[in-house]
Amino acid sequence: MSDPISLIIGLGLLIFIVFSVIKKVFKLIIISVVALACYIGYLSYTGNKPPDIIEEIIEEVDVDELKKSAGKVEKEISKSLKNAKKDINKTIKKKIK
């Protein structure tokens, strides 16, 4: 922790790991939603009735709330990355001086 170079590398790796995890979770959510939409489209096309559980999920999902949550997460990640960038720049400037 006393070596600024190690601190910079550690912060960079931490940011990279957090960002990667969030990207993977977001991709998983998008893929799940697309698969569910395709399944519902298929059932609609064939005239079959979707299972009760799917109807319950569709009724419970609040799209506006999901958009708000995604916006909040995006803002928090952006803020965290900006703060980390500032911290890294401060550490570099201290090391140069």
Tens of pLDDT along the chain (97 residues)? 567 778 778 888 888 888 888 888 888 888 888 888 888 888 888 887 767 776 677 777 776 777 777 778 878 888 888 888 888 878 777 777 6
CB contact set of 12 (below 8 Å; sequence gap of 6+):
88
Long-range contacts, stretch 7-13, CB < 8 angstroms, 24+ apart:
7/91, 8/88, 8/91, 8/92, 11/84, 11/87, 11/88, 12/88
Domains of the chain: which residue ranges?
4-96
Provide the 8-state DSSP code for 47: T
